[in-house]
Amino acid sequence: MANRKVKTLQRTKTGKKSEQTNGQASFHNTDRNTIMDRRKFIALASVSTAIALLPRPGRTGYTFSEADARARELVAKMTLDEKTFLMSGNRRNDISRHNKAGARYPNPNYGCPRLGIPPVRFMDGPAGVRFDYRATCFPAAIGRGASFDPELEQRVGEAIGYEGRALSATLFGGIVVNLLRHPRWGRAQETYGEDSYHLGVMGSAMVRGVAKYMMPTVKHFAGNSIENTRMFLNVRMSERVLREVYLPHFKACVDAGAACVMSAYNKLNGEYCSHNRYLLTEILKNEWGFDGFVMSDFGAVHSTVPAVMAGLDLEMPSDTYYAQRLAAKVREGVVPVEQVNESCVRIIRTMLRFGMFDAPELDLKRVAGKEHSELALESAEKSIVLLKNDRGLLPLDPAAIKKIALIGPFASELNLGGTSSSKLFPPYQVSPEQGIRKLAPNVEILMDEGKAPSRAGELAKKAELAIVFVGLTEKDENENRDRRSMTLSRAHETLINEVASANKNTIVVLNTGSALVTENWIDRVKSVLVVWYPGMEGGNAIARVIFGKVNPSAKLPVVWPRTQDQLQPFHCWAPEVEYDYFYGYRYMDKKALEPRFYFGYGLSYTTYNYSNLHLNKNRISRDGIIQVSVDITNVGKLPGEEIPQLYVGYKGSKIEHFVKDLKGFSRVALDPGQTKTVKFDLKAQDLAFYNEITRSWEVEPIKYIVYVGPSSNPAELLSAEFEISN
Ligand code: BGC
């Protein structure tokens, strides 16, 4: 619909051309007026905040065409300044005040008070809504990635969306799907893992869940996987690498209905992501048909014109380069008003579609209430990976034990992880000690913080077994800082070794946001559990796994090498990096290196047997689908859940491919003795590569190898071949 505004051009005091609309006074670009204008907008925006927060019964969730038409009507009524302020964060608003629920207001833009357009209200994640308020703290995303459970992730997303909305936020900014290219990335814990397919499945589940109550944002678009230099880093990559490795998971989230995409701080191929027209407009909006809006990471805009012309719709969290500066550029004729109109339509349309003009009455009691705490527990239980369990030391039977030594800094204090934008403040947290005492009330618990390893060793000698709680903290990995090393600190390694030499039944419980190199100690201990940063119910989840109330089922979403040298280099201080095709498990596959723990690896208290891998066809066309089935039997004594994984290899291709590529996974519950047939649909189109010459996706008519098994370890995979014909 055409913009129905009547436009006139006039000269301002500074002699520049200015747009005037519908007879309304325009804002002139003098300092004095600029300050006045901004104040006026801030004052009005506060009013609209109050209005927007009043529960207004009414319709939510317009259809696309209704929302589009309504948005265009509204935009046609807006003055230029109203439009450019709508496209700007409003830092001076009330973010330092507390709302009725006692939480600080989320970051708003200006909205448009005159027309009743409420501001968007941005709130971070990803372990829950990051209010300074008692919201549920779920496990870190990396742990939820280890659950390989999109159905559960969707429920977590719904709970997060509910809490955020109940606390007055409308835009959830906590869906991180950046590919974990190297485990030392400081924000590894915020994403789901290293595999694009897996990231896409988990991220879209979160998008679908959050979308019930809030507008889901996926971030940071794109190629953001180094912290130290993130503000100026230039990430270079070929078109093929971009299309096949760094973008498909974003596309999956867009297809799942993401409302907003946040542009990353770094540059991609020489251009800041927030100024990157190729990325934001050509690929995201034009090619993928994304109809939501693009927001900058906080402070990621460097200049007005390149950002707006690239397709960046909303500058956050301030109005540094948009607002009156953008209006001035329109008046100067540098930025066409259509570009601004388009951004406003996107913002308003998305708010209407997601029902953000209404304030539904949500029950604050559900925020970190029983239901969400139980969900946090379930999610934590399904995130714990059993890495090692010699002679079946775990699970423990509390009736058969008299004394346990709990050693280390994270035994009596739960390690929640989270840094800066991902740090949560839940109403309570259950420490491992509390969880263990609850399930083993008759067992004597000996405690030592582990500050002096030899003293801890002495204590460990007095117990039948020792559990050492060590790992990383936000000092080691955080937003702004990459990990310096792949190992635990020397202090933690020494502690493990002292305790292990004092007590042959030593179990290690690890907090970490991604892979660790464990060579200095792993052979000396009997059992190892990776609990990531397990959220506020962490202590209960850990205890329930230790005592066998829960059979561990999670798998590693990132390969754990034996040494850092087994992985591709990590240049976290360079101003420019080149990302090539091979990284992580794919890099190690190519070099035929054997990691300590394979991608997809994780033990259980029972044993599963894989058999009868079957393909329903041995040849399909380029748009065909092949059905893969496999039988999985629980041949152990306990019920459990297994995560079968499907990988594909390429045979006789004219180009270089990964040795194998994850293309499917599922989660299946099996009682002892039970067999289930698991089926995967594999589309020929999902095996396409990106042809840089024709600039299109192409499915090669070659042979493909299907691998199915409990991890990416070639020794454990069944395989079969099929062909795609011309
Ligand atoms: C982070 C984003 C976050 C934003 C707002 C930035 O520094 O990179 O992930 O959403 O801050 O807190």
237: helix, strand or coil: strand
Q: CA-CA distance, 612 to 421, in Å (whole number)?
A: 47
Reply yes or no on whether the pLDDT at 113 is more than 90: yes
CA distances from residue 608 to 382, 604, 641, 677, 711 in whole angstroms, order as listed: 17, 9, 9, 13, 12
Consecutive H or E run containing 219: strand 215-221
Residue 707 CA, ligand 1 centroid: distance in Å: 39
Taking only the tens place, the pLDDT of each residue in 514-539 is 999 999 999 999 999 999 999 999 99
Output the pLDDT for position 100. 63
Q: Which residue minimizes the CA distance to atom 4 of ligand 1?
A: 298
DSSP 33-48: HHHHHHHHHHHHHHHH
Taking only the tens place, the pLDDT of each residue in 619-630 is 999 999 999 999
Closest ligand 1 atom, residue 219 Cα: 9
Ligand 1 — pocket residues by CB below 6 A? 124, 173, 219, 297-298, 421
* Residue that wins the pLDDT comparison between 27 and 44: 44
Residue 479 CA, ligand 1 centroid: distance in Å: 9
Q: Does domain 608-724 have CATH number 2.60.40.420?
A: no
373: helix, strand or coil: helix
Residue 265 in contact with residue 300, Cβ under 8 Å?
A: yes
Report domain 370-590's class: alpha beta
Model confidence at 93, in pLDDT bands (50, 70, 90)?
Answer: low
Closest ligand 1 atom, residue 190 Cα: 9
Residue 387's DSSP bridge partners are none
Residue 297 CA, ligand 1 centroid: distance in Å: 6
> Domain limits of the chain?
20-353, 370-590, 608-724
Reply yes or no on whether the pLDDT at 181 is more than 50: yes
Q: CA-CA distance, 10 to 29, in Å (whole number)?
A: 13
Nearest 5°: phi and psi at 205?
A: -65, -40
E strand segments, 581-659: 608-615, 619-620, 625-634, 640-642, 645-651
Reply yes or no on whether the pLDDT at 423 is more than 60: yes
Rounded mean pLDDT of 205-217? 98
Residue 221 CA, ligand 1 centroid: distance in Å: 12
Q: Above pLDDT 70, what percent of the chain?
A: 90
Q: Which residue minimizes the CA distance to atom 7 of ligand 1?
A: 298
Output the pLDDT for position 184. 98
Reply yes or no on whether the pLDDT at 302 is more than 90: yes
The b-or-e profile of 489-521 (16+ CB within 10 A means b, else e) is: beebbbbbbbbbebbebbbbbbbbbbbbbbeeb
Consecutive H or E run containing 662: strand 661-665
DSSP 462-512: TSSEEEEEEE--TTTSBTTB--S-SBPPHHHHHHHHHHHHH-SSEEEEEE-
Residue 557 CA, ligand 1 centroid: distance in Å: 23
Q: Which residue minimizes the CA distance to atom 12 of ligand 1?
A: 421
Taking only the tens place, the pLDDT of each residue in 183-204 is 999 999 999 999 999 999 999 9
Same CATH fold, 370-590 and 20-353?
A: no
Q: CA-CA distance, 131 to 133, in Å (whole number)?
A: 5
Output the pLDDT for position 134. 86
Q: Above pLDDT 90, what percent of the chain?
A: 87
Model confidence at 45, in pLDDT bands (50, 70, 90)?
Answer: low
User: What CATH number is given for 20-353 in this structure?
Assistant: 3.20.20.300
Rounded mean pLDDT of 465-474? 98
Average predicted confidence (pLDDT) for the chain: 92
Residue 174 CA, ligand 1 centroid: distance in Å: 9
Residue 474 CA, ligand 1 centroid: distance in Å: 16
CA distances from residue 167 to 43, 120, 143, 675 in whole angstroms, order as listed: 22, 13, 25, 46
- Radius of gyration (C-alpha) of the chain in whole angstroms: 27
Output the pLDDT for position 16. 36
Pairing outcome for strands 267-268 and 215-221: unpaired
Q: Which of 131, 297, 424, 478 has most ligand 1 atoms within 8 Å of its beta carbon, as the pocket-test mutant?
A: 297
Model confidence at 50, in pLDDT bands (50, 70, 90)?
Answer: very low
1: helix, strand or coil: coil
Rounded mean pLDDT of 707-714? 98
Residue 298 CA, ligand 1 centroid: distance in Å: 6
The token pair that represents 560 in the structure block: 């754990």
Distance of CA 654 to the CA centre of its chain: 35
Q: Which of 420, 422, 424 has most ligand 1 atoms within 8 Å of its beta carbon, as the pocket-test mutant?
A: 420
Q: Which residue minimizes the CA distance to atom 8 of ligand 1?
A: 297
Q: Kindly list the catalytic residues.
A: 297
The b-or-e profile of 636-662 (16+ CB within 10 A means b, else e) is: beeebbbbbbbbbbbeeeeeebbbbbb
Closest ligand 1 atom, residue 230 Cα: 8
Q: Which residue minimizes the CA distance to atom 11 of ligand 1?
A: 298
Answer positive or negative: Cα dihedral of 235, 659, 703, 624: negative
**Torsion from C-alpha of 184, 186, 192, 195, nearest 10 degrees:** -40
Output the pLDDT for position 646. 98
Q: Which of 189, 274, 296, 421 has most ligand 1 atoms within 8 Å of its beta carbon, as the pocket-test mutant?
A: 421
Output the pLDDT for position 643. 98
Helix spans in 182-322 (H): 196-210, 239-241, 248-255, 277, 304-310
Closest ligand 1 atom, residue 317 Cα: 5
Q: CA-CA distance, 191 to 375, in Å (whole number)?
A: 19
Q: CA-CA distance, 644 to 523, in Å (whole number)?
A: 27
Q: Which residue minimizes the CA distance to atom 2 of ligand 1?
A: 297
Model confidence at 33, in pLDDT bands (50, 70, 90)?
Answer: very low
Least confident of 350-364, 671-685, 703-717: 350-364
Cβ-based neighbours of 18, under 8 Å, separated by 6 or more: 9, 10, 11, 12, 26, 28, 29, 328, 331
Rounded mean pLDDT of 484-512? 98
